[in-house]
Amino acid sequence: MNSFHYAFKVKDLKSTRQFYVDMLGCKEGRSTETWIDFDFFGHQLSAHISANIPELDYCGLVDGIEVPIPHFGCVLTDDQFEQVQQVFESNNIDFIVKPQVRYKDSVGQQKTMFVLDYSGNPIEFKSMKNESELFSAS
């Protein structure tokens, strides 16, 4: 699988490091005084300081659940999903979509959860029951 690169806005680098490095265990890459790269589960995130972070728009409706658009995230193994969930719970991170099973007993069944990073960016973590169904139509 090819890695993706995603650049996004954050309010500051200190809290961004706390969330991605200290909490999630992402390896820090290159950085300057205004941006920082992370290894986000094998993918490159570039966090850039901005004073103009847009408000959330819960215009997405997925399996009856309103989700913020845009958002980014990662498909994890079941063990990784459980570990990340425990990290969030032990750090008192509020879930904007609580950990749950989506599409139960259907093609694409998955665990999913959404949180906000310390700059208010929505992030989805999911784990597929059957990884081969990630791109399957129902």
Q: Domain range spanning residue 97? A: 5-133
Would residue 53 count as lying in a domain? yes
Convert the pLDDT of each residue in 88-112 to its tens digit. Answer: 999 999 999 999 999 999 898 999 9
Domain CATH number, residue 56? 3.10.180.10
Cross-strand pairs, 5: 44
Would residue 80 count as lying in a domain? yes
Would residue 57 count as lying in a domain? yes
Q: CA torsion, points 82, 30, 36, 29, in degrees to nearest 10?
A: 0
What 3-state DSSP class applies to 76?
A: coil
Which pLDDT belongs to residue 58? 94
* pTM for this prediction: 0.93
Task: Answer yes or no: is pLDDT of 138 > 70.
Answer: no
How many folded domains does the chain comprise?
1
H helical segments located in 13-130? 13-17, 78-90
Mean pLDDT of the chain: 94
117 contact partners, CB below 8 Å, separation of at least 6 = 10, 16, 19, 20, 123
Which pLDDT belongs to residue 135? 82
